[in-house]
Structure 1
Amino acid sequence: MEFTEHPTDILLLAYVDGELDLNQRHAVEDLLAHDMAACQRVAQFQDLNRLLKEAFPEGSTVA
C-alpha cells in the first residue's frame, strides 16, 4: 500500500477517525459521493487503522 500526501488527507483522516463535526462530516461525505480517488484514500486509511489496531491492541503496552 503506497501513501502519498494529498491536500485533503488531513480531512479524510479526521473523517476516518471520527473527529469531524457534523458540517465537516457532511462536506466529506459529499466529496466521497463524487470523488472516487477520495473514496480510495478513505479505504486506505481505514485499512491502515485496522492494521494498527491489530498490531497494537487496546490495553497493550509498547516497551
Structure 2
Amino acid sequence: MDKHDDEPSAASTKSLEIATALFFLVIGGLVMWDSYRIGAKWGDDGPQSGYFPFYIGLLMCIATLAN
C-alpha cells in the first residue's frame, strides 16, 4: 500500500469545482464588460463589434451559475 493513500487531500472536489466556477464567472463578466465597453449594441449597419462577444460572456455566466 502506498504511504500517500492515508494522507488527506489538499483540497476537496467540491472546493475545486467552486473555484473553477468562480474563475469562469469572472472570465464571463470580463468578456461582458469589455464587450459593452467597445459597443455591444445594434447599430444602423448591424451589430457593433462587441455584440456577439457580450452574449457569449452572458452565456458563460448563466452556464456557470446553472452548474
TM-score normalised by the chain length of structure 2: 0.37
Higher Cα Rg, which structure:
2
